Copies of this chain bind each other. A is one copy, B any other.
Amino acid sequence: MSEQKRKRGGRRARQTSEADNPPPVIPYITRTIPEYELLGEEGLTLIEKNADLILSETGIDFHYAPAIELFREAGADISGDRVRFPAGMCRKIIRDSAPALFEQKARNPARNVLIGGRHTVFAPVYGPPFIRDLDKGRRYATIEDFRNIVKLTYQLPALHHSGGTVCEPTDLPVNKRHFDMVYSHIKYSDKPFMGSVTHPDRAEDTVAMCKILFGEQFVDDNTVVVNLINANSPMTYDETMLGAAQVYARNNQASIISPFILAGAMSPVTATGTLTQILAEAMAGIAFTQLVRRGAPVIFGTFASSISMQSGAPTFGTPEPSLVLNGAASLARRLGVPFRSGGSLCGSKVPDAQAAYESANTLLPTVTAGVNFVLHAAGWLEGGLASSYEKLIMDADQLGMMQTFAQGFDLSENGQAMDAIREVGPGVHFLGCQHTQNNFKTAFYRSSIADNNSFEQWQSEGSQDAVQRANVIWKKMLAEYTPPPIDQATDEALNEFMAKRKAEFADSNY
């Protein structure tokens, strides 16, 4: 053991500082554990048949003339903004051209992610207008908070993706903040990121910035940005989201077509009914992207939680959303497209036990269902109203555990450890045996935040809870942050583009 300690001291001594080394690269998870399937063939077929009935009988509203035209040409039955699809039409369009798997390129190629198949990509929280930390409590988020979350996400190896609106920079005008958000992802991280969807023009700006970063031809040929397109459930898509989806599909960039559902309000009060509606909505939206451009990368998304039938408030980490996410993952696999859902969702206002139970009850089903792209994987608090510095750190530790869990059993000779059992025998401990010595450095997931010390030691160190420990960790990380290098000419070109565009129209807050 003393030999080991010396070695570790030596290695540490050779590093002038932790900050000089870029964060370790584990670009994404490749699961070797099987998917957990709660619905059998019979249930899945029934839901698919019912979803087809919704598409053909009830139909979906597309409040966007170009979408109506595309669907009319493709043979749908149009009545105003209502589109009804002949049986099997959406499924056929999707199966004919949507890729089952695609790669999103990062500016650091070592961080490219594979989306689909047995792969799982974790991205941070998306969308909150508020931010919370232990020192300053809850407040409106600013661009400084946004940059901080991007920097922390860059440093956390269990997060594979820089995400998108990690919090709303509310100190910037609504119609211009997308520039600063996209730029922050590019500048302060080298992980793949998401683009703006709040207006087709902002989607165009995102694509333009990607072209400056990656080159025009590269963007035509590759997926460099993934974008969150929510359906306006029930059974409605609005103009803004469809306009943005159209821009991205046309440019060969990826959309996550996500029914956003609080079951009981935007869908029926049953898990089966909710799942059926999700499938119908998602198929219609995904089909739209394929009509815009055959083969455009697209992800079957769903954000489904339920509401309290007493107060109407959204609830998270409860059993029904867990069922829905599992079933939707199975349906996406049968459709043959990558799937997005889950995360570390919770309704709690603070990163307490409620937050953790609810997050774990969302995250573990996310991994076992085989979700491919996981938004809100870390940092989500208060039903998505607040991003949390401490919860980002705590959740990321959980994501690291999922990475280990997803590898399943090691059935190699070393994994079987029969030599160790033979060597040690009854009544003796395994701490000193050769097999333990050979494996102890990599054995068992090592939590960055859990306190497993004795009660007395924990007490002597100030009786800190998990949030207090997380608070120390994120501050240390920000203090040690070093940005990934970026080509100076590219950086200048991005800043020039933003300055020029920002000057072209007045600030506004819508």
Contact B271 A465 (CB under 8 A): no
A171 within 8 A of B: no
Option from B318, B426, B443 in Cβ contact (under 8 Å) with A61: B426
Bound-state CA distance A217–B355 (Å) is 51
Option from B39, B426, B445 in Cβ contact (under 8 Å) with A234: B426
Contact B46 A416 (CB under 8 A): yes
Contact B320 A444 (CB under 8 A): yes
A86 within 8 A of B: no
With a CB–CB cut-off of 8 A, which chain B residues contact A405? Answer: 319, 322-323
Which stretch (A144-152, A406-414, A496-504) binds chain B?
A: A406-414
With a CB–CB cut-off of 8 A, which chain B residues contact A209? Answer: none
A299 within 8 A of B: no
In angstroms, how far is the closest chain B Cβ from the Cβ of A300?
A: 19
Contact A348 B450 (CB under 8 A): yes
CB nearest neighbor in B for A458: B349
A359 within 8 A of B: yes
Decide yes or no: A420 and B273 within 8 Å by CB, A311-B452, A426-B61, A426-B234 being known contacts. Answer: yes
Bound-state CA distance A315–B450 (Å) is 9
Contact A276 B417 (CB under 8 A): yes
Interface 0/1 of A137-157, CB less than 8 Å to B: 010000000000000000000
Contact A417 B269 (CB under 8 A): yes
Decide yes or no: A309 and B443 within 8 Å by CB, A352-B466, A465-B350 being known contacts. Answer: yes
Option from B275, B277, B308 in Cβ contact (under 8 Å) with A446: B308
Contact B61 A452 (CB under 8 A): no
With a CB–CB cut-off of 8 A, which chain B residues contact A436? Answer: 264, 268-269
Decide yes or no: A46 and B308 within 8 Å by CB, A349-B455, A361-B364 being known contacts. Answer: no
Contact B311 A272 (CB under 8 A): no
Contact B426 A82 (CB under 8 A): yes
Decide yes or no: A276 and B431 within 8 Å by CB, A323-B408, A364-B364, A365-B364 being known contacts. Answer: no
A506 within 8 A of B: no
With a CB–CB cut-off of 8 A, which chain B residues contact A308? Answer: 444, 446, 452
A212 within 8 A of B: no
With a CB–CB cut-off of 8 A, which chain B residues contact A382? Answer: 455
Option from B234, B327, B408 in Cβ contact (under 8 Å) with A427: B234
Bound-state CA distance A282–B347 (Å) is 42
Contact B61 A269 (CB under 8 A): no
Decide yes or no: A418 and B50 within 8 Å by CB, A357-B360, A425-B234 being known contacts. Answer: yes
A404 within 8 A of B: yes
With a CB–CB cut-off of 8 A, which chain B residues contact A454? Answer: 313
Bound-state CA distance A402–B364 (Å) is 14
Within 8 A of B (CB), among A388-434: 391, 394, 398, 401-402, 404-405, 408-411, 414-418, 420-422, 424-431
A371 within 8 A of B: no
Which stretch (A12-20, A29-37, A65-73) binds chain B?
A: A29-37
A108 within 8 A of B: no
Contact A354 B354 (CB under 8 A): no
A232 within 8 A of B: yes
In angstroms, how far is the closest chain B Cβ from the Cβ of A426?
A: 4
Which stretch (A51-59, A97-105, A161-169, A175-183) binds chain B?
A: A51-59
A510 within 8 A of B: no
Q: What 8 additional pairs, Cβ within 8 angstroms, besides A268-B417, A276-B417?
A: A36-B368, A50-B418, A58-B426, A234-B430, A264-B436, A270-B417, A273-B435, A311-B453
- Going nearest first, the 3 A-B pairs with the smallest beta carbon separation are A273-B417, A360-B360, A268-B417
Q: List 20 A-B contacts (CB under 8 A).
A: A58-B421, A234-B421, A265-B431, A268-B420, A272-B410, A272-B417, A306-B443, A307-B444, A310-B446, A311-B452, A312-B431, A318-B401, A320-B445, A350-B465, A351-B353, A353-B356, A356-B357, A356-B360, A357-B359, A382-B455
Chain A residues within CB distance 8 Å of chain B: 33-34, 36-40, 42-43, 46, 50, 53-54, 57-61, 82, 138, 232, 234-236, 263-277, 306-315, 317-320, 322-323, 327, 347-361, 364-365, 368, 382-383, 385, 391, 394, 398, 401-402, 404-405, 408-411, 414-418, 420-422, 424-431, 435-436, 439-441, 443-447, 449-455, 458-459, 463, 465-467
